[in-house]
């Protein structure tokens, strides 16, 4: 009787060990993520940046810059384009928002122009950053946001919003507020290529 009880305990022990091994194998990736301090630190930093709690510059070796608009839950890499070629800019848009380069004849006071993709409602926020400007229409006058470029942070405030035809020249000013220092542009409606939404902002 004693031997039978011992056998049951031994079998139970081996069963629990085997069950533990199987659980570990089938959930290996999740367990690694949960126990990886770097992953947890990255997620905490991501949330802090999106909420605007953390304002330290991100590492230059990772990306050229960052655009953060907590009001629409946006934090994305900002890529500085060296060309105005549409095909090349399309490639860069898969990596984040794109800072359009100054063209010949541009003046020092001309606003910066940042381009970004938009996507339909409930589009998954994964992959090629094709959703980052989907909520530009939610930006109302007075909303403040930050831009990190070349290691320096700049603070902006929204002064206007317009819908224009595809190919039309984006307005660089707001009649009441004056000249814009920054313009955000995306497709309108989100995910369609028929019009453009233009959000103008000024330094604050």
The pLDDT of residue 125 is above 70: yes
The pLDDT of residue 171 is above 90: no
Asked if 98 and 114 touch (Cβ cutoff 8 Å), the reply is yes
**β-sheet bridge partners, residue 80:** 99
Question: Greater confidence, 14 or 141?
Answer: 141
The pLDDT of residue 30 is above 60: no
The pLDDT of residue 199 is above 90: yes
pLDDT in tens, 81-119: 988 898 999 999 989 999 998 765 555 577 889 999 998
DSSP structure class, residue 191: T
Confidence of residue 60 (pLDDT cuts 50, 70, 90): very low
3-state secondary structure of 68: strand
pLDDT in tens, 32-46: 444 444 444 445 555
Strand 74-80 and strand 173-174: the pairing is unpaired
Q: Is the dihedral of CA 56, 112, 178, 170 positive or negative?
A: negative
The two structure tokens encoding residue 5: 């009880």
Average pLDDT score, the chain = 76
pLDDT at residue 56 in the model: 43
pLDDT at residue 133 in the model: 93
């Amino acid at each position: 009787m004693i031997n039978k009880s011992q056998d049951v305990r031994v079998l139970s022990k081996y069963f629990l060990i085997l069950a533990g091994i199987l659980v570990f194998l089938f959930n290996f990736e999740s367990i690694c993520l949960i126990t990886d301090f770097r992953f947890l630190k990255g997620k905490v930093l991501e949330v802090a940046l999106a909420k605007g709690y953390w304002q330290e510059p991100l590492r230059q070796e990772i990306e050229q810059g960052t655009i953060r608009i907590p009001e629409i839950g946006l934090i994305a890499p900002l890529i500085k384009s060296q060309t105005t070629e549409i095909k090349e800019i399309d490639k860069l848009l898969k990596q984040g928002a794109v800072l359009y380069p100054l063209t010949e004849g541009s003046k020092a006071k001309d606003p910066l122009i940042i381009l970004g993709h938009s996507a339909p409602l409930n589009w998954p926020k994964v992959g090629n950053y094709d959703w980052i400007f989907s909520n530009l229409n939610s930006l109302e006058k007075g909303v403040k946001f930050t831009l990190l470029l070349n290691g320096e942070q700049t603070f902006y405030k929204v002064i206007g919003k317009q819908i224009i035809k595809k190919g039309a020249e984006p307005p660089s000013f707001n009649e009441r507020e004056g000249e814009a220092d920054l313009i955000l542009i995306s497709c309108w409606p989100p995910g369609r290529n028929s019009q453009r939404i233009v959000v103008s902002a000024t330094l604050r």
